[in-house]
Amino acid sequence: MKIVVAGGSGFVGRALVAALTARGDSVLLLTRRGTAGTDGRVRALAWDGKSTGDWARELDGADAVINLCGENVAAGRWTPARKIQLIKSRVESTRALVAAISQAARRPKTLINASAVGYYGTAPEGECAEGAPQGRDFLAALCGQWEREALAAEPLGVRVVLARLGVVLGQGGGALAKMALPFKLFAGGPLGCGRQPVPWIHRDDAVSALLFALERDTLTGPINIVAPQALDNRAFSATLGRALGRPSWAPAPAFVLRLALGEMSGMLLGGQRVAPKKLQAAGFGFKYPDADTALGALFPR
């Protein structure tokens, strides 16, 4: 297959591109971090992440587009300027890709567009399957805008998959390094009250789920890409402590997190109890269905 990947130089994107090329696919990587070039089965084209250009011609005849673009929501305090940048990095890139799809004589059959379980807002009670309503906080509004841009490809005859990712765990990037550091310093523990849900997934399973969605024409719309095991923050912290051989006794008080992070602390102190109903119904098999297995593989002892 010929796959166009935007945002493929990020934490999930690097692993996805490696998996695509390993199975024999040809990958065109749209990148804002480097220049055009070729490396084996991967060709890289520079783009600005917000407008069409010469790269748009490459979508003609491509089998699918996978869009993982978006500034890291945890990279800094959510100032008004930062919020605008978080939104623009997602909305503008998705809009440009859909515009390029509309111009193609032979349009890609599939658009897999990243989103996040933040779509559901703070939902500590009950279970958020794919049909659960949108939340009302900033992250929910961000995900809603992002997804609406992607859904604009549906009237073009494109199958759209909205990949609502949980916290992706893996070495070499992502959230895990920040989560593990306090434990390594013997100061790890739950955040706030510890009762908030942690929707997580091992990076290998996240990549496998994206490939699964790519191959299954029956999968459309939102898909929760999270592990089936539901854990609260206290239980997740205890599991991480065991994997690292460290105690989990030093909670981070909620008021300290609010002072340090401002509005962004809600992402850590809230949470959603998310279920991967569509993946399970379609027969997807998780390699790491529980946190003990996932974290044990990431921190072998």
Tell me the pLDDT tens digit for each residue of 159-188: 999 999 999 999 988 899 999 999 999 999
CB-based contacts of 213: which residues, under 8 Å, 6+ apart? 112, 161, 163, 219, 223
Task: Out of 3.30.70.100, 3.40.50.720, 3.40.50.1980, 3.40.1350.10, select the CATH number for domain 2-170+201-228+274-288.
Answer: 3.40.50.720
Tell me the pLDDT tens digit for each residue of 225-238: 999 998 999 999 99
Q: Tell me, what's the pLDDT at 246?
A: 95
**Which of 120, 66, 116 has the alpha carbon at shortest distance from 94?**
66
Tell me the pLDDT tens digit for each residue of 136-147: 999 999 999 999
- pTM, rounded to two decimals: 0.94
DSSP state of 37: E
The whole-angstrom separation of Cα 90 and Cα 49 is 9
Domain residue spans in the chain? 2-170+201-228+274-288
Q: Tell me, what's the pLDDT at 172?
A: 87
Least confident of 20-24, 33-37, 119-123, 222-226: 33-37
Least confident of 62-66, 123-127, 212-216: 123-127
Tell me the pLDDT tens digit for each residue of 28-70: 999 886 555 556 678 999 899 898 888 999 999 999 999 999 9
Buried b (16+ CB within 10 A) or exposed e, 60-84: eebebbbbbbbeebeeeebeeebbe
Q: Tell me, what's the pLDDT at 34?
A: 58
The whole-angstrom separation of Cα 265 and Cα 164 is 20
Q: Tell me, what's the pLDDT at 169?
A: 97
Phi, psi of 116 (to 5 degrees): -150, 160
Q: β-strand 231-232 against 197-198: which pairing, if any?
A: antiparallel
The whole-number average pLDDT for the span 13-26 is: 95
State yes or no: pLDDT of 291 exceeds 70. yes
Query: Which range has the top average pLDDT, 74-78, 166-170, 254-258?
Result: 166-170
State yes or no: pLDDT of 125 exceeds 60. yes
| Mean pLDDT rounded to a whole number for the chain | 93
The whole-number average pLDDT for the span 11-15 is: 94
Q: Tell me, what's the pLDDT at 99?
A: 96
CB-side neighbour CA atoms (13 Å) of 60: 7
The answer to whether 106 and 59 are in contact (CB under 8 A) is no
Least confident of 35-39, 148-152, 239-243: 35-39
Q: Tell me, what's the pLDDT at 76?
A: 86
State yes or no: pLDDT of 126 exceeds 90. no
